Amino acid sequence: MSDNEKRPADGSEDKTALLTEMNRLREENERKEAEKRSAEAELFKSKKEVRELKAEIERMRSPYLMLGTVRDVLGNNRAVVRTTTGFDIIVSVSDFIPKGSLVPGSVVSMNAKTFAVMDVLPSPPVPIATGSATDESTPMGRFVKDVLRSLEEFEMSIIERTRNIYGSQTAHTREQQEKTADARTQEREQNVQKEDE
């Protein structure tokens, strides 16, 4: 009987040791699972942050936008746009712009490198803010155009007067420079002849 008494005691110790080891392993597994979930959450957060930073870098690399006013819609994703500098240009229109939103008179933003229309903006309350003051279809535009034409004529007359004044002086100065150069050349030739003798 002493053998039978020892066996259950040994068997229960083995079971207790196994249960203790299982509990330890279960706790370790739960701890590792918690660490894994935490690492996955951190990875997700990091990936999101990287995407945001990449988007910001791309936004910073993209060219600035210019303002323009639509003069005419041509179809085939093209339009005639007047830039703020007063030039009318034919440009491409982004596919993301809804069809009906692009009409003559619309204020648009354009890619500064390609001049493609990127977005339709709300109309500004002051037409001069977009440079449409040079639009000859408005009274202000005609006035501005007349003033610019007068300034250009005045500038041309000043340039012409300046050319007339300095042109005659320049011709006189050139004659003097040529005479001086000829005199120096003759002097050098004489010096060379003297040295040869």
Residue 94 CB burial class (10 angstroms; 0-12, 13-18, ≥19):
middle
Residues 6+ apart with CB under 8 A from 109: 65, 66, 67, 68, 117, 118, 119, 121
The reply to whether 125 and 142 lie within a common domain is no
Round to whole Å and give the CA distance between 86 and 144: 12
Domain total in the chain: 3
The reply to whether 72 and 130 lie within a common domain is yes
pLDDT digits (tens, 9 = 90+) for 34-91: 999 998 999 999 899 999 888 877 776 677 788 899 999 998 889 999 988 888 999 9
The reply to whether 108 and 50 lie within a common domain is no
Say yes or no to pLDDT of 110 above 60. yes
What pLDDT score was predicted for residue 128? Answer: 47
pLDDT digits (tens, 9 = 90+) for 20-44: 999 999 999 999 999 999 989 999 9
The reply to whether 43 and 33 lie within a common domain is yes
| Res. 189 pLDDT band, cuts 50 70 90 | confident
Q: Which domain holds residue 50?
A: 1-62
Name beta bridge partners: 78.
Answer: 75, 92
Which of 134, 154, 174 represents a domain boundary (last residue)? Answer: 134
Which of 98, 118, 134 represents a domain boundary (last residue)? Answer: 134
Q: Which of 82, 77, 177 is nearest to 132 (CA)?
A: 82
pLDDT digits (tens, 9 = 90+) for 128-169: 444 555 566 667 777 777 777 787 787 777 777 776 766 655
By three-state DSSP, how is residue 89 classified?
Answer: strand
pTM of the model: 0.38
The reply to whether 118 and 147 lie within a common domain is no
Say yes or no to pLDDT of 193 above 50. yes
The reply to whether 130 and 73 lie within a common domain is yes
The reply to whether 129 and 75 lie within a common domain is yes
Say what the alpha-carbon torsion angle 13, 15, 19, 21 is, to the nearest 10 degrees.
Answer: 60
Assign residue 95 the CATH number of its domain: 2.40.50.140
The reply to whether 109 and 145 lie within a common domain is no
Which of 35, 62, 89 represents a domain boundary (last residue)? Answer: 62
| Res. 112 pLDDT band, cuts 50 70 90 | confident
Mean pLDDT (the chain, rounded): 78
The reply to whether 149 and 194 lie within a common domain is yes
The reply to whether 121 and 145 lie within a common domain is no
| Res. 111 pLDDT band, cuts 50 70 90 | confident
Q: How many CB atoms lie within 10 A of CB 91?
A: 20
